[in-house]
Chains A and B, each alone.
Chain A
Amino acid sequence: MTDTIVCIKQVAEVEDADIVLNDDKTGVLKDDLVMGINEWDSYALEEAIRIKESSGGKVVALSLGDEDCQDILRRALAMGADEVVHIDKNGFEGSDAVGVARGLASVIGKRHFDLLLTGVQGSDDGWGQVGIILAEILDLPFASLVVRLENHEDHLTVYRELESNTQQIVELPLPGVVTIQTGINIPRYVSIMGIRRTRNLPIAGTGAGQLGLMNSEIGTEGSCVESRQLFIPSDEANAEMLEGTLSEVCEKALSIIREKGGTD
C-alpha cells in the first residue's frame, strides 16, 4: 500500500501557436492558447496511477490555479485518482516557487501519504524548484530528475538522469518526494467518455485564506523574485541555402559541419 500525492499544473500549450505578450510584458496572452496539463506532470500522474495499480493505496491529485485547472483535475480522476483538491489561485499571483510550495504544502502537510510526486519543472515558468522546496518545507528526503522508479513499500529505488547519458541509482526512504522526468512511462490516453464520467465527482476546493497563509508568505509580497520583462527574441536570418547537385550540397554541408567542429 503506497498512498501517493501528485501535484499537477495547468499550462498553456504553445506548440504551433503564435505567442503574443500582454501589454505590460509580464505574461503571455492566453486568449488563443489551449490549456492542458504540464507535460512533466502528466508523467508524474501516470506514475502515481501505476504505483496504485501495482501496490494499492490511494492517489490524491492537487493543483494550484484558476477555475480552469479543474479540467486537469477531472483528467486525473478519469485516469484513476481517488481524490482531487483544487487550491484557488487567488492571493498567489506573483508568487515565486517558495510561495507556490507553501500553498501546496499547507494542504499536503495535513494528509497522510507515503510518496509525493511532482514533475521536474513547469513548461511555462521553467523554475524546476517547487518539488524540491516542498521536500524542504515538509522536511522529507527527495530525489529529482527521476526516470525510473521501483517501489519497495518502505523505500524506493529511483534512477536519476544525469548529464551525458549517465544515471544514478538512489535508495530513497519513504515518506519522500520525487520529481519525475519525462519519458519515465507512457502516459495513458484519457478518453472523452472517461472525462465525461467524472462530471459528477466532487473536486475539493480550498484557498489561501482557508489554509491560513499570510500575504507576506505568498503572492508578490512574499516573493523574493520579481519578473522584470518578458520578451520574444528577434528572428535571426542565419539560414544559408545550399545549392548545386546532390553531391555538391552534401560536400558543402559536410564541410560546414567540420568547420563548426561537428565531426570531432
Chain B
Amino acid sequence: MIPQRELFWNIQGVWIFYLLVSVSILIFAAGMLARVLSWARGGRGLKYSFSLNCLSDLLLDVFLGRRIFRNDPGAGTSHLLVLWGFLGLFAGTSMLMVDHYLYHCLTGLSYLLFSFLMELFGLMLISGLCWGLVRRFIFKIGRLEKRWADLVVPLWLLVAALSGFLLEGSRMAAQEPAWGGWSSAGLLTSYLWGGHDAALSSYRIIWWAHALVSLGLIAALPFTKLFHMLASPTALYMSALPEEAFLPEQTVKAGQALSKRALVFLDACTRCGRCTEVCPSAASGEDFSPRRFLLSARKREAVNYGTLPAAFLFGKRDVPAESGESIYNRIWNCTTCGACADACPAGISTIEVINCIRSEAIEDGTDVPQLLAKTLESLTKHDNPWGAHRKKRFEWSQGLSVPSISGANPPDGLCYFAGCTTSFDTRAQMIARSFVSILDQAGVNFFCIGKDEPCCGDIARRVGEEGLFQFQMENCVELFERWDIRDLVTSSPHCFNSFKNDYPLYMSRDDSQKAGSFRVRHYTQLLKELLEQGKIRFERSIPSRVTFHDPCYLGRYNNLFDAPREIISAIPGVEMVEMEHYGADSLCCGGGGGRMWQEDMTCKVTISERRIAEADAAGAQMVITACPLCLITLEDAVKTAGLEQTLRVLDLNELILLAMGKREK
C-alpha cells in the first residue's frame, strides 16, 4: 500500500465543513479589510518607495525574528517556534487542499516527508507556545502583561495544535498504517485508544472539534492580538520610509490627527513592553510609559472613530477614562530620545504617535503646558526659545573678534551655526567660545551669522508646532540662500538633525534642488577631520578617567558614535571608560523633545540624575558630551547629586582646548 492520506476519510457532511470554512474566511476577510481600511483615515501619509534593502531587512526581521531575539533570546526562540510552527501547519493544510483537488502529489515518500514535517511544525508550535506561557505566567518576566487575551489566544492555538495530534492519533489507531513510524508523535498518541471502533468514533468528534477550533481561530484573527501578523510587518516596513511633510494650510479634520503610519503603529503593538523597559521617563518613575501611552491612544482612536472591529472590541459607549483631553497629560513626558523605537520589534515609533497628538494639542491650544506655550511664543517673537532679546544673540563672542556676516558680500568659508541654547545660556556659551578658539588655532576659515542667526525650529517640530517649525525653516533657508551659505557646522545635534533630516522632507516638496543646496556637519565630525589632518595637536596630557555621553540626536538619530570617542582617545593621558548604557544603547539626559522648556515632572529620580549616577558608577572623573542641552542638564544633575568634587561635565570642545594646552582666546 502506498503511503498517503485520504482527505475527509470517514467524515460525513463535508458540505457543512465547507460552509464553516466560507463563514470563517468571510469574517476573516471583512475584519482584515476593515482594519486595513481604517489606516487610510490618517492625516499625513508616507512617501512610498520600494527598496530591495528594506524588503530584505523586513524578511529577515520577520522570518528570523532578528529584532525579537535582540536582548532577549528566550522571547526570540519562543516566537520563532510559534511563527514557523504556525506557518508550516498553515502551508501544510493548504498543501492537502492542492493534493486533493488539483494535483495528487502527497503520495509515497513525499507523503511520509510531509507527515514528518507536519509533526515537526506541530511540535514547534506547541513547544513555542508552552515556553511563551511559562515565561509569562510562571517566570513572570517583568515586562510581560497578564491580561486575559495573553492567556486565551495562546491557549486557543495550543488547543488547535493538540487537537491536531489527537486527531492524528485516533486516525492512526483506527487505520494502523504500516508507516506509522514517520509520525512518531501521532503513533504515541494512538496508544490512547484501545481498539479500532473506539478510535474511529473519537476520530469523528475530534475531527470536527479540530476544524471548529482552527476555523474559529482564522475568523478571530483580525480581532485579536494575532492581527499583529499583518500589522507588525507593515509597521516595520513603513518605519523605514520617509514621512510626508505637513502642508502649511492643511486643516486637520477630526480623526486625522494621527498620520497613516501612526495608525498602523497603534495596531502593530503587541504590548511586549520592551519600549517601557528602555524609556528614560518610565525608568525615572514619571507617570508615563510608551506602552501605556500607545494603548490609550489606540483606545481613544477606537472609541472616537471606531471601525467595525474596533467598535466590536471596545463598544462605542464605553468611553474610557483615558480618552479625550486626558491623553494630553501623557504627551509631554517624552524626550523623543528614540530608545523605544529602537527596542520595538515592530519598529513602532512612539515618538511619531506622540508628535501627532502633540500637534493636535498645540492646534487646539487650550491644554498646552504654560511654560511651553511661553517658550513657543518667545520663539515666535524673539526667534529663540529662551525669551532673550534677539539683539543679544551674538554676545557670546564678546572679546573674541569672531567674524560675522556684515556688509553686502557673502562671506566665504565655513559657516558656524551656533544655535539658540549655545548663544544664550551662559554655561553653553563656553561651547561656542571654545569651538571658535579651536577653529582659529587650526587655521580654519570660518564665519558666524551673528545677531541675525535664526532658530532652526527643532524645538517647534519636537513639540508639534508644525507651523512655527516651517516658519523657522523658511527663515533659515532664505538666509542661507541670501548669503550663499553652503557649508554649515553646528554646535547642537538638534540643529544638525533638523538641517540634515527634517529640512529635506519639507524642501523637496516644492523645490527639489533646495534640498541638497547645503552641507551640514556636527562639530564632532569637523573636529575629527581636523585631528586627522594634524591641524589639532594635543600638547597637554590630561590624566583623567573620561566617559562620553552620547547625545540622542547625534548618536541614535544620526549614527555618529565614533568620532567623539576617537577624539577623546587621542588625548594623551586620558583613560576612556564607558557607562552602563552607551552608543546605540545610550540613556537620554532628559533635555530633548521640549523637556528643557517645561516644568519639572514628578519623578523618583530625575532622568539626568540617573545618567550621572551611571557616570559615577563607571568611575569617571569627567563626563564629556557634545550637545548644549546635555551639558546643561547633566551639569545640573551633578550639582543636585552632590558630585561636584569628583565629577566634571565638559563639552568636547572644552576638553580639546584643555588638551591643546590653550585657553580660550
Which stretch in B47-55, B82-90, B383-391, B578-586 binds the other chain?
B383-391
Most chain B beta-carbon contacts within 10 A, residue among A16, A79, A195:
A16
Assess the B368–A188 pair: CB atoms within 8 A. Answer: yes
Assess the B381–A13 pair: CB atoms within 8 A. Answer: yes
Contact with A along B335-378 (1 / 0, CB 8 A): 00000000000000000000000000011111010100100110
- B residues less than 8 Å from A189 (CB atoms): 362, 365, 368, 373, 376-377
Report how far A32 CA is from B391 CA in the complex, Å.
Answer: 8
Write the chain A residue with the least CB distance to B368: A189
Assess the B387–A16 pair: CB atoms within 8 A. Answer: yes
Q: Which of B200-256 contact A (CB under 8 A)?
A: 248-249, 251
A131 to chain B, nearest CB (A): 25
Which stretch in B67-75, B460-468, B534-542 binds the other chain?
B460-468
Assess the A196–B365 pair: CB atoms within 8 A. Answer: no
Assess the B362–A191 pair: CB atoms within 8 A. Answer: yes
Assess the B387–A15 pair: CB atoms within 8 A. Answer: yes
B546 to chain A, nearest CB (A): 32
Report how far A190 CA is from B381 CA in the complex, Å.
Answer: 13
Q: Is B471 on the interface with A (CB-CB < 8 A)?
A: yes
Write the chain B residue with the least CB distance to A36: B381
- A residues less than 8 Å from B470 (CB atoms): 192
B460 to chain A, nearest CB (A): 8
Report how far A195 CA is from B363 CA in the complex, Å.
Answer: 10
Assess the A186–B389 pair: CB atoms within 8 A. Answer: no
| Chain A interface bracket (under 10, 10 to 19, 20 to 34, 35 or more) | 20 to 34
Q: Is B380 on the interface with A (CB-CB < 8 A)?
A: yes
- B residues less than 8 Å from A193 (CB atoms): 248-249, 363, 466-467
Q: Given the interface contacts A13-B381, A197-B249, does A191 sit within 8 Å of B363 by beta carbon? A: yes
Report how far A200 CA is from B382 CA in the complex, Å.
Answer: 25
Q: Given the interface contacts A34-B381, A186-B370, does A194 sit within 8 Å of B389 by beta carbon? A: no
Contact with B along A84-126 (1 / 0, CB 8 A): 0000000000000000000000000000000000000000000
- B residues less than 8 Å from A17 (CB atoms): 389
Q: Identify which of B382, B392, B468 contacts A191 (C-beta below 8 A).
A: B468
- A residues less than 8 Å from B364 (CB atoms): 188
Write the chain B residue with the least CB distance to A78: B365
Contact with B along A14-26 (1 / 0, CB 8 A): 0111100000000
B529 to chain A, nearest CB (A): 38
Assess the A194–B387 pair: CB atoms within 8 A. Answer: no
Q: Given the interface contacts A13-B381, A15-B387, A36-B381, does A197 sit within 8 Å of B362 by beta carbon? A: no
Report how far A79 CA is from B365 CA in the complex, Å.
Answer: 9
Q: Identify which of B370, B388, B392, B467 contacts A192 (C-beta below 8 A).
A: B467
Write the chain A residue with the least CB distance to B471: A192
Report how far A18 CA is from B391 CA in the complex, Å.
Answer: 10
Report how far A18 CA is from B392 CA in the complex, Å.
Answer: 10
Q: Identify which of A36, A79, A186, A191 contacts B467 (C-beta below 8 A).
A: A191
| Chain B interface bracket (under 10, 10 to 19, 20 to 34, 35 or more) | 20 to 34
Report how far A18 CA is from B466 CA in the complex, Å.
Answer: 31
Report how far A208 CA is from B251 CA in the complex, Å.
Answer: 38
- B residues less than 8 Å from A192 (CB atoms): 380, 465, 467-468, 470-471
- A residues less than 8 Å from B380 (CB atoms): 192
Report how far A193 CA is from B364 CA in the complex, Å.
Answer: 11
Report how far A15 CA is from B392 CA in the complex, Å.
Answer: 13
- A residues less than 8 Å from B382 (CB atoms): 16, 34
B394 to chain A, nearest CB (A): 14
- B residues less than 8 Å from A36 (CB atoms): 377, 381
Q: Which of A1-33 contact B (CB under 8 A)?
A: 13, 15-18, 32
Report how far A195 CA is from B362 CA in the complex, Å.
Answer: 12
Report how far A191 CA is from B471 CA in the complex, Å.
Answer: 11
Q: Which of B374-430 contact A (CB under 8 A)?
A: 376-377, 380-382, 387-389, 391-392
Assess the B388–A191 pair: CB atoms within 8 A. Answer: no
Report how far A197 CA is from B388 CA in the complex, Å.
Answer: 28
Report how far A214 CA is from B468 CA in the complex, Å.
Answer: 44
Assess the A197–B251 pair: CB atoms within 8 A. Answer: yes
- B residues less than 8 Å from A16 (CB atoms): 382, 387-389, 392
- A residues less than 8 Å from B381 (CB atoms): 13, 34, 36
- B residues less than 8 Å from A34 (CB atoms): 381-382
Report how far A60 CA is from B493 CA in the complex, Å.
Answer: 45
Write the chain A residue with the least CB distance to B466: A193
Write the chain B residue with the least CB distance to A185: B366
Assess the B471–A188 pair: CB atoms within 8 A. Answer: no
Write the chain A residue with the least CB distance to B392: A16
Assess the A190–B248 pair: CB atoms within 8 A. Answer: no
B375 to chain A, nearest CB (A): 10
Report how far A188 CA is from B369 CA in the complex, Å.
Answer: 10
Write the chain B residue with the least CB distance to A193: B467
Q: Given the interface contacts A34-B382, A196-B248, does A191 sit within 8 Å of B365 by beta carbon? A: yes
A97 to chain B, nearest CB (A): 27
Q: Which of A169-213 contact B (CB under 8 A)?
A: 186, 188-197
Write the chain B residue with the least CB distance to A194: B363
Write the chain A residue with the least CB distance to B472: A192
Contact with B along A228-258 (1 / 0, CB 8 A): 0000000000000000000000000000000
- A residues less than 8 Å from B466 (CB atoms): 193
A16 to chain B, nearest CB (A): 5
- B residues less than 8 Å from A13 (CB atoms): 381
- A residues less than 8 Å from B366 (CB atoms): 188
B252 to chain A, nearest CB (A): 9
Report how far A138 CA is from B251 CA in the complex, Å.
Answer: 40
- B residues less than 8 Å from A191 (CB atoms): 362-363, 365, 465, 467-468
- B residues less than 8 Å from A15 (CB atoms): 387
Write the chain A residue with the least CB distance to B460: A192
Assess the B362–A196 pair: CB atoms within 8 A. Answer: no
Assess the A196–B389 pair: CB atoms within 8 A. Answer: no
Assess the A196–B249 pair: CB atoms within 8 A. Answer: yes
5 additional contacts (CB under 8 A) given A191-B362, A193-B248 = A17-B389, A192-B471, A193-B363, A193-B466, A195-B467
The 4 A-B pairs of least Cβ separation, nearest first, read A192-B467, A193-B467, A188-B365, A189-B368
A interface, CB within 8 angstroms of B: 13, 15-18, 32, 34, 36, 79, 186, 188-197
19 contacts between A and B (CB under 8 A): A16-B387, A32-B391, A34-B382, A189-B362, A189-B365, A190-B365, A191-B362, A191-B465, A191-B468, A192-B465, A193-B248, A193-B249, A193-B363, A193-B467, A194-B363, A196-B248, A196-B467, A197-B249, A197-B251
